[in-house]
Amino acid sequence: LSPYGTGTYASRSTVLAGGAGILAGRDVREKTLRIAAHLLEAHPADLVVQDGRVAVRGLPDRYVTVRDVAKAAYGGVRHLPRGMEPGLEATRFYDPYYGTASNATHMAVVEVDRETFHVRILRYLVVEDCGRMINPLVVDGQVHGGVAQGVGAALLEEIVYDGEGQLLTGTLMDYLVPTAHEIPEIETFHIESPASTVGGYKGVGEGGAIGWCSVTPGHEV
């Protein structure tokens, strides 16, 4: 049903899909210019694409629309440069050699009850660098999801057995995963330093679940 791919593990969905989309888009754009140049009897280097039109540079009235180009691409070889295959589509693969992990710094201000050891999170701050952001709202959601997983792993989720090896936390009634009630308001900030990948994207959100902690004594109850 789809071309073969290596999967989007390790926060690589945007990196792989975005990179492949950019590469395919470049191929389609190049072919669009070649077909438009043929229709306009011009050189591809002299053309500009803007607002759905392909025009001769400096002569905005001499143009064809992208719709015209697509019609020619699928209208038979007689409308195309000699030797060009019909169609206006491309399939590209992209899998960067180096990792695409993001950088993140997390800071939590907490209160710890010395008698019960209950931990209350007073403030939580995140600075995340996922390279170029496409949709900031989605990025914030992924950061918050990673923080929720980290809070759950550190404070709430525990597999407990009794002395005979019987699992005591086998349901979500006993094994507590974090909900909106347990997660504090998260102050999120972003740094966009482009990666060396096509598009400059990195993964995002794993900093909250995979972190090194340094603890500084603060409030006490």
Neighbouring C-alpha atoms within 13 Å toward the C-beta of 5: 19
**Rounded to whole angstroms, how far apart are CA atoms 130 and 206?**
10
First to last CA, the chain: 59
**Rounded to whole angstroms, how far apart are CA atoms 87 and 103?**
41
Active site residue 115: no
Closest CA to 100 of 171, 15, 28, 23: 15
Please tell me which residue in 89, 164, 206, 220 is annotated as part of the active site.
206
Catalytic residues: 206
